Every structure is written in C-alpha cells, then in structure tokens.
Structure 1
C-alpha cells in the first residue's frame, strides 16, 4: 500500500487529488478526494438506477481513462511512439483509497509542464503554440481519441530536449456517454473534437491577440 496521506498534493481535479508516486519519479497517483464518495464507492446523490447500472461510480472515470489509454496503446505499440494522452498504468491501493497510476508528463528538465490555461494566464503563449495546438487536435482526430471535456487545464505543453515541444491531454479522456456513440463513430467523434478545437484554439487566439495589444499580458 502506498502511503500518501502526509505527502503534498501536486494537482487537484473536481473530485481527485494527484500525488507524486513515492517510489517512482516517472509516475503520478490520482486518488479520490476525501468525503467525495460513500462506502460503496458511489458519488453523492447517485440515483438508484445508476447504482444498478454502474457499480462504484466514483471510479467510473478511472475505468474510462484506462480503457481509452489501453485501446489507443493497442493501436500505437511501436517503441518510442508518443501518445497524445498520458499513459495510464493501472490501479494501486493507497492509504487514501484506491489510486490510479499515470505516467508523469515532464519537461526535459524534469519539471511539470504548464497547462494551456497557465500559459494563457501568464502571457507565455506564442504564435508557434497555435500551430502546435492545431497539430495536436489533428493527432487526436487521426487516432480517434475520445475526450470527456474541454478544460484548458487538461492540456499541458511538454518541452522536449530538441528545444521544441508538444501538447498532451492529461485528464478526462474516454467516453462518458451511456450509449458511446462517439466511441463507435469516428465521424461523430471528429465532429466533437473539431468543436472542442474551435473553442480551445479560439480562446488561445483571442488571448494571444490581447497579449500583443497589451504588450504581452494575456489573461482568461
């Protein structure tokens, strides 16, 4: 069992806390926030019907992300292949409950990369990032990756040793639909991804334009 209770939280989601893996610097562990689920692993106010259809609803996101990663990895097994989403290694028991183990996305210097939201807020966005952001969505579409939301904090920019970088989706991927139409239909998923692209890239473009007008300052 991993001991996390006295370790610092390095990132927070709506219902999860993220910790550095205590024994492997290349991994992260995501666990449910205390008080966000009951003894059966259900989210608060989960209806009776949903409890019957979906067991342990607190962990449905874990299962969704692991399944999406596994299906993508099965198609991209070449050594050194870079995935547009973070790697998901499986579950592990912790002193804070069941955890999901992720590959840690780090810059070439070992630091955690900035999110797209942080880049926009701090004025670090440059025209090159827009090009890379569109290429990133092209990759998601090509590989039929299903996303769960359009949160700018789920996209990070990883600087690489060659001086360039790439965007990676780190949280909330996989299909949330009870009837997984976007998972079944690449056409429907492409349409959905292009809607997310339009909003995300449009937000970045507006921030970049505002930053240029204000001498490099951009915020959300």
Structure 2
C-alpha cells in the first residue's frame, strides 16, 4: 500500500489527481476523484446510467487504451521504443491509500519538475517553430504507429526535452473507447480516424493562440 495521505497532487483533472510516487519520483500515480465521478454519473441521462460507472472510470479506460491493437502489435514486434516515443511508459496499477492508481512514467522538465503542458506553452510563447516541429513529429508518430487517441487537447500534452529538442507526450486522452475493436483493426479506417484527430488538433491550436472571442464549442459551429 502506497501512502499518499501527506502528499499534494502535482496536477489534477476533472476525474483524477496525479501524484509523484513517494518512493520512486520517476513514476506518476493517477488516482480517481470518486466525488467527481459520482457527480458526473448523476448528471447523466438514465439510459447512460444503466451502463454503469465503469464507462466513466478514466483509469479503467486508460488501461484498456494501452491494450489497443496498435500498441500490442508494436510491443510484440519488439518496437517498444517507438511506442514510448510520445507516451509515458505504462506500468500497470498499484494500491494506494486513496484507491487503485494507474502507474506511469513521470514526464519531467529539465529541472526535474513536472513538464509544461502544451496549453501553457502556447499561452506563454505561442506556436513557435520548435513547437511546430514537435507537433509535426508527434502527428507523424500517430500516423506511423496507428495508435488511437481521443481529441488531442493541449492540456493533455506535455513538452519534454529529448536529445536537445522538445517533444510532445500524450499524458491523457489515449484510446478511442467508443470505437469497436473490429473497426480499429482496419488500416484505412484507422488512418482516416487519426487524420481527423490531427486536423482537429491544429484547429484547436489555432483557437488557443487566437483571439478566443468565442468558446471552443461555439467555434466548432462556424
């Protein structure tokens, strides 16, 4: 049992807190926020409630996302370095004082602190050339590997220095939970799906670095 009672999360999302492992700072522990999961569940229409809470359990969905066909195939072929080129290495689960945690690599900045999110970087420095090139490498990696993601949101990507250049790492939003496995195995369909995610990613960056006179949701209706 890993005791997290005296620690503060280094990052938090709507459904999870992220902690550094107290005995191994190279690892990140993602723990569910049950009160938010319950509130989210209660807001849903009754047909969705019938499906249970498992479908909104981010840890469970993340574990399933790591079992997607593209990742399993690459790992079976001994190409793990390609898988983890833009994903934190995944180490399964661990029991903590706050419940079961997903354990993954802690992506750090050069000073050892948590890596800056792409969202924060865009607000601070804009979509400059180094990050444009990093985004291009990340998108090419998606197309090369066939790894499926949800919509690529800047707050779910962090920037780390690798071999003297910035690289993007997807720390949340892996997988496509609403897509049947049979479809995900079709190369042509998978490529179209990924290209749609990439197009939407660049639209989101344009919105993040623009005037933002409208909300992101409203901008999609234009």
* TM-score, normalised relative to structure 1: 0.78
Q: Distance in 2 between matches of 1:155 and 1:182?
A: 26
The aligned residue for residue 12 of structure 1 is: 12
Shift of 1:177: 1.5
Shift of 1:75: 4.6
Shift of 1:159: 1.3
Asked if residue 172 in structure 1 is aligned to residue 183 in structure 2, the reply is no
**121, 124, 129: which one pairs with 2:123?**
121
Matches within 5 A, 1:97-108: 97-108=99-110
Secondary structure of the structure 1 residue equivalent to 2:109:
coil
Asked if residue 192 in structure 1 is aligned to residue 182 in structure 2, the reply is no
Write 1 or 2 for the structure with the bigger share of helix.
Answer: 2
Q: Distance in 2 between matches of 1:62 and 1:79?
A: 18
Q: Distance in 1 between matches of 2:184 and 2:89?
A: 19
Residue 64 of structure 1 contacts residue 175 of structure 1 at CA under 8 Å; is this kept in 2? no
Secondary structure of the structure 2 residue equivalent to 1:67:
coil
Q: Distance in 2 between matches of 1:78 and 1:180?
A: 22
Residue 65 of structure 1 contacts residue 172 of structure 1 at CA under 8 Å; is this kept in 2? no
Matches within 5 A, 1:109-148: 109-148=111-150
Give the aligned length. Answer: 203
The aligned residue for residue 156 of structure 2 is: 154
Shift of 1:43: 4.8
The aligned residue for residue 63 of structure 1 is: 63
Q: Which runs of 5+ in 2 are unaligned?
A: 212-222
More deviation in 147-156 or 192-201?
A: 192-201
Residue 15 of structure 1 contacts residue 36 of structure 1 at CA under 8 Å; is this kept in 2? yes
Shift of 1:37: 4.7
Shift of 1:145: 0.6
Residue 18 of structure 2 contacts residue 30 of structure 2 at CA under 8 Å; is this kept in 1? yes
Q: 1:129 to 1:76 in 2, by over 3 A?
A: farther
The aligned residue for residue 217 of structure 2 is: none
Q: Map Cα deviations across residues 21-55 of structure 1 (whole Å, 9 max, x no partner).
A: 110011000010132456xxx9545523x24xx85
